[in-house]
A and B are shown apart, each in its own frame.
Chain A
Amino acid sequence: MDLGPTARGPTLSGCTMRGRMARKCMVRLFALGGLALVFSGCNTPETTRLDFTTPAGVQGTPVAPSKSSLRVAWLAVEDQRLDATSLGHIGSRAYVAKSFLPWLDQQLRAVKGTNFAEAGDPARADLVIKPILLKLYIQNIEVTKSAVVVLRLEFSSHGKSSGQLTCRGQYAGMNWWGSDEEMAGAIQEAFTDCLRNISASLELNIKLQHITGTASGANEGLGLN
């Protein structure tokens, strides 16, 4: 960093660099430089690519499916967002992620419940679930970061459509550092919340036979969160 001439004359900080004044000015300039460095991350328009590798699985006591549990098969996630890479913006910093759908597929297949178990092959499943990614973004409201994920699950039972659920996951918290890890962590928290909601909704709706094609109103969007 060029601190400018150490000779006499007014400088940008408004002081004359002679003797003690010069030292004072240097300290001031270093302080300003330091502050500028600290805050530069907030204003630099950059694009950051986030990678999803950590499992976002729902925490808690492991559940074992009962003997009478429904065999569920998950199809690959379909991304219906306007752009498949954008993850939103925090200030002037943009976030993107590529090829994370296989990761999401993996997370959904790991969702467990007492009323359902993974069947693997859709042909042998009682219930086939087609997940559709509707929203996935991170944004800021002043000093707060907010991550949101919305998935629609379309159900079919023995070849017949049997309803759909829209599940949302979200996380909001103070933006402390604006680091990539912090943003990726916020999105993971939103995914965890969404998976928890999916698990709870599946448990409830399978129990009530709302999405197995046996109850009335099975083709309506249940929209549980």
Chain B
Amino acid sequence: MNLIPAQVFGRGGSHAVFLAAAAMLFSGCTTPIRVPISSDSRTQLGAVNGIVGLRQQEIGTSINRSNVSAATGGGLIAAIVDMSVDNARAKKAESAVTSVRDALVNYQPGNVLAGDLQKALASVPGVNPSHVDVRQIIDPKTTGAWIQGSGGASVLLVTLDYKLSPNFDSIIVSAEVSLHPGGDRLGKIAQTKSDLPPLVYYNVLSCTGSLPGLTGQQTPDGMARLWAANGGQPARMVLDAGLQELAAMIAYDLTAPAPPEGEAYKAPDGAEKRLATVYGTMDTTFQGYIEHKADGWIWVRLPAGQLSAVAQ
């Protein structure tokens, strides 16, 4: 903080204090999000129940947010313009997605992921659920209630989200995964994260798939027609592949070790770097490093530990 002389920012140095607080607030961007689990802890979990939770009932849409405020330096008028543009884009996306939703009206991504997880986790010692349920997340208390009501068993909770990219040129499946020890097991090492019950593993994983050979020249309406063709067969194919890859990533990440102390998810020497997006309330792109390449997919480890897969 010596770089900020007090006389520049006022006598009391209150602005310097404010800046320091702001710096502390934003330093959270590099704080690891991933909570890794050790092999020792895994073997102490006992019986594990798997739950795939869904907040949505159909494939979601997303938009490229208008940036007039940022470009013009802010202000009320610019904010109103941004909101108006975002609203128009969202309405257009919700209209264009109708044919894809109609084609996928009987598609159950939760069941597909549950089946894939069961297969992928069969090879993970300690985390091999006897069954994986699919449930609707009703409100913020729902998942906590499921974990409390697991009857002493540990719970692997996978909150699934799936949506089309803003240009409709790819389908993104993402999951917030947490592992909650049952009973009093591992109580000493369990951590708390947001409003979830104590957990011993946590991460956010995503997988972006697109139609092979796509040039990206189509409009969202044109892309929607492509996804919905033949009763939604292209959309189902990409969703199936994405969910299978997501299950494989979850199984892998549950066994991937923690990074060395003080080197949180730093790219190893010689590792190939690549940009990848973290999907959530606000989609954000970071530079990570390639951790795994196989079967046409590249897995990118991001600075906070999230794992993001893109088709090669």
Within residues 1 to 21 of chain B, which ones have a CB less than 8 A from any CB in chain A? 12, 14-15, 17-18
Residue of A nearest to B60 (CB): A139
Whether, in the assembled complex, A82 has its beta carbon less than 8 Å from a beta carbon of chain B, the answer is yes
Whether, in the assembled complex, A102 has its beta carbon less than 8 Å from a beta carbon of chain B, the answer is no
Whether, in the assembled complex, B272 has its beta carbon less than 8 Å from a beta carbon of chain A, the answer is no
Whether, in the assembled complex, A174 has its beta carbon less than 8 Å from a beta carbon of chain B, the answer is yes
From A14, A82, A85, contact of B17 by CB (8 A)? A14
Residue of A nearest to B54 (CB): A82
Whether, in the assembled complex, A150 has its beta carbon less than 8 Å from a beta carbon of chain B, the answer is yes
- Complex Cα distance A150/B104, Å? 12
Q: Are B138 and A94 in contact (CB under 8 A)?
A: yes
Q: How far is the CB of B17 from chain A (nearest CB, A)?
A: 7
Binds A, one of B61-69, B238-246, B252-260: B61-69
Among A86, A144, A173, residue most surrounded by chain B Cβ atoms (within 10 Å): A144
Whether, in the assembled complex, A142 has its beta carbon less than 8 Å from a beta carbon of chain B, the answer is yes
Q: Are B17 and A86 in contact (CB under 8 A)?
A: no
Report the count of interface residues on A (CB-CB < 8 A): 37
- Complex Cα distance A85/B138, Å? 8
Q: Are B14 and A170 in contact (CB under 8 A)?
A: no
Interface of A: prevailing SS: strand
Binds A, one of B87-95, B183-191, B262-270: B87-95
Q: Are B138 and A96 in contact (CB under 8 A)?
A: yes
Q: Interface digits, A3-45 against B, CB 8 Å rule (1 contact, 0 not)?
A: 0000000100011100000000000000000000000000001
Report the count of interface residues on B (CB-CB < 8 A): 37
Residue of A nearest to B84 (CB): A174
Whether, in the assembled complex, A130 has its beta carbon less than 8 Å from a beta carbon of chain B, the answer is no
Among A14, A96, A141, A168, residue most surrounded by chain B Cβ atoms (within 10 Å): A141
Interface of B: prevailing SS: mixed
Chain B contacts for A172, CB-based, 8 A: 90-91, 94-95
Residue of A nearest to B99 (CB): A225
Q: Are A144 and B91 in contact (CB under 8 A)?
A: yes
Q: Are B140 and A141 in contact (CB under 8 A)?
A: no
From A96, A134, A150, contact of B139 by CB (8 A)? A96
Residue of A nearest to B142 (CB): A94
- Given A10-B17, A135-B105: A141 in contact with B57 (beta carbons within 8 A): no
Whether, in the assembled complex, A92 has its beta carbon less than 8 Å from a beta carbon of chain B, the answer is yes
| A-B contacts, CB under 8 A, total | 99
Whether, in the assembled complex, A207 has its beta carbon less than 8 Å from a beta carbon of chain B, the answer is no
- Complex Cα distance A44/B54, Å? 20
Whether, in the assembled complex, B58 has its beta carbon less than 8 Å from a beta carbon of chain A, the answer is yes
Whether, in the assembled complex, A223 has its beta carbon less than 8 Å from a beta carbon of chain B, the answer is yes
From A15, A46, A47, A137, contact of B56 by CB (8 A)? A137
- Complex Cα distance A47/B98, Å? 28
Q: How far is the CB of A148 from chain B (nearest CB, A)?
A: 7
Residue of A nearest to B65 (CB): A142
Q: Are A83 and B83 in contact (CB under 8 A)?
A: no
- Complex Cα distance A96/B140, Å? 12
Chain B contacts for A46, CB-based, 8 A: 139
Chain B contacts for A94, CB-based, 8 A: 138-140
Q: Interface digits, B131-142 against A, CB 8 Å rule (1 contact, 0 not)?
A: 000111111110
Residue of A nearest to B9 (CB): A14
9 further A-B contacts with Cβ under 8 Å, apart from A10-B14, A83-B136, A173-B91, are A16-B14, A47-B140, A83-B135, A85-B138, A86-B137, A88-B56, A142-B90, A172-B94, A225-B98
**A interface residues (Cβ-Cβ under 8 A, vs B):** 10, 14-16, 45-47, 81-83, 85-86, 88-89, 92, 94, 96, 134-137, 139, 141-144, 146, 148, 150, 166, 168, 170, 172-174, 223, 225
Q: List 21 A-B contacts (CB under 8 A).
A: A10-B14, A14-B14, A14-B18, A45-B139, A82-B54, A82-B57, A85-B138, A88-B57, A92-B140, A96-B138, A137-B56, A139-B56, A141-B62, A141-B94, A142-B65, A144-B87, A150-B105, A168-B101, A172-B95, A174-B83, A225-B98
